[in-house]
Amino acid sequence: MNAYTIEFHVACPVNGVRVKYTLRIETPARLMLPVEQLVAEIEAIEGDPAFHEDLADRLASKFPGKQTMKAHHHGVDIETTREGEPSE
């Protein structure tokens, strides 16, 4: 198994509060994830306010593997898990 973890911030679309996210993507050992592509996608995401669940869906459509994303917003811990199925 390979594991890739990245932290980033996105504004809440309701009140503009800056929310810190942690994303972990796990792939089978034979499947490498190009980190440059991951960083580029995260940089594109950081500029637009979005809901946690929508971000999780967007990332699952771009990258393979088990994806766990966590955030803490207004005293609530949010965690989503998705199985990445990139659209070709």
Q: What is the pLDDT of residue 70?
A: 98
Calculate the alpha carbon distances from 37 to 32, 34, 79 in Å.
Answer: 11, 6, 23
CA distance 88 to 85: 9
Domain that includes residue 56, residue range: 2-84
Give the pLDDT score at 23: 98
Entry pTM? 0.91
- Cβ contact 37:65 at 8 Å: no
Q: Number of folded domains in the chain?
A: 1
According to DSSP, residue 88 is labeled: -
- What pLDDT does 26 receive? 97
Model confidence pLDDT, tens digit, residues 2-48: 999 999 999 999 999 999 999 999 999 999 999 999 999 999 999 89
